[in-house]
């Protein structure tokens, strides 16, 4: 008995298109993550990248949670993009940027309403429990914004 493995006629072009889509969405995702990082850095008191390089524990916690919250937004924006590649890339970019803006505003509003001294917290050289509250706010609001995209 002989079996023949036959691939669809469009297999090669579909494969190349899929690889191209992965690369393009990867670029969009990376771009959005960079924008997200700089949005967090710009709107947070102090220079987060410097504080993280210095190894300040609260700055690391807040920055890491901010990056995770941005990743939630970017992933959901890409996941819910249109099925057409061009439209999908555009909607991912637009929804991702809008999500980042909403995230930054929501976190700052929550920090303002709770009266947490974010600058003092992230610049502290010893662990401050308030950094966990700020981190939780980043993650929670990132999830809320991400789900609102869907």
- The answer as to whether 10 is a domain residue is no
Contact 58, 118 (CB under 8 A): no
pTM of structure: 0.79
- The answer as to whether 9 is a domain residue is no
pLDDT tens per residue, range 71-112: 888 888 888 887 788 888 898 888 889 888 988 888 788 778
Tally the domains of the chain: 1
pLDDT tens per residue, range 35-62: 988 888 888 777 888 999 999 999 999 9
Range of the domain at 63: 17-148
Which pairs with CB-CB distance under 8 Å and at least 24 residues apart come from 46-52? 46/119, 46/122, 46/123, 48/122, 51/122, 51/123
- The answer as to whether 2 is a domain residue is no
């Amino acid at each position: 008995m002989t079996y023949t493995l036959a691939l669809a006629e469009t297999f090669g072009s579909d494969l190349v298109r899929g690889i191209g889509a992965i690369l393009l969405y990867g670029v969009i995702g990376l771009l959005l993550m960079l924008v997200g990082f700089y949005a967090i850095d710009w709107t947070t008191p102090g220079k987060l990248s410097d504080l993280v390089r210095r190894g300040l524990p609260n700055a690391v916690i807040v920055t890491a949670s901010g990056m995770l919250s941005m990743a939630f937004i970017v992933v959901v924006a890409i996941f819910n993009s249109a099925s057409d590649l061009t439209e999908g890339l555009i909607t991912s970019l637009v929804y991702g940027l809008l999500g980042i803006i909403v995230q930054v505003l929501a976190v700052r509003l929550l920090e303002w309403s709770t009266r947490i001294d974010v600058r003092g917290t992230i610049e502290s050289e010893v662990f401050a429990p308030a950094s966990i509250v700020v981190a939780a706010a980043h993650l929670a609001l990132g999830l809320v914004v991400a789900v609102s995209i869907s």
